[in-house]
Amino acid sequence: HNDYVQLMQALRQQMPSLRQTEKVVFMGHGASHHAFAAYACLDHMMTVQRFPARVGAVESYPEVDILIDSLRDEGVTGVHLMPLMLVAGDHAINDMASDDGDSWKMRFNAAGIPATPWLSGLGENPAIRAMFVAHLHQALNLAVEEAA
């Protein structure tokens, strides 16, 4: 739970100023492994805490169509698309931000919700990097304790 809260605080630092009817949509990679549930958990926490963002995944749940329908029902009039990935690579460039008809940008636009993509990976966020370093320290300390 604490990691999700820290992640949301870190994500807020990179979010643009939003109008009342705008949200950020974070695009995660997704997975066929049961760990994909983390995306839905984060999305749920954002919704419950009225955090002005949603989470979807390219290759698993929650799919972009679910987000489009939900955001349209909420009356959202614009979204900012951001990768929920360390690097803004192939998925961010092609699946999220491109002018290809199947990209998230074009799908939101076609649904009447203008989308502005941002191509910055989480690795550019200092608070995210600090989370990685803290977890590395915890893992190293645990390894030292177990080796003793």
What's the pLDDT score for residue 148? 83
Question: In CATH, what number is assigned to the domain containing residue 56?
Answer: 3.40.50.1400
Distance between CA atoms of residues 88 and 121, nearest Å: 5
pLDDT tens per residue, range 66-86: 999 999 999 999 999 999 999
Q: Which residue has the tokens 């974070």?
A: 26
Enzyme catalytic residues? 29
Is the model's pLDDT at 33 over the cut of 90? no
pLDDT tens per residue, range 34-67: 777 999 999 999 999 999 999 999 988 889 999 9
Is the model's pLDDT at 10 over the cut of 90? yes
What's the pLDDT score for residue 112? 98
Domain that holds residue 95: 2-147
Report the domain count for the chain.
1
Q: Which residue has the tokens 């951001």?
A: 82
Is the separation of the CB atoms in 41 and 65 below 8 Å? no
**Overall pTM surpassing 0.85 (yes/no):** yes
What confidence category does residue 131 fall into, taking pLDDT thresholds of 50, 70 and 90?
A: very high
Question: What does the block give as tokens for 47?
Answer: 């919704």
What confidence category does residue 1 fall into, taking pLDDT thresholds of 50, 70 and 90?
A: confident
Select from 112, 117, 40 the least CA-distant residue to 75. Answer: 112
Measured CA to CA in angstroms, residue 109 lies from 22, 79, 96, 137 at distances of 14, 10, 12, 43
pLDDT tens per residue, range 86-127: 999 999 999 999 999 999 999 999 999 999 999 999 999 999
Distance between CA atoms of residues 104 and 24, nearest Å: 13
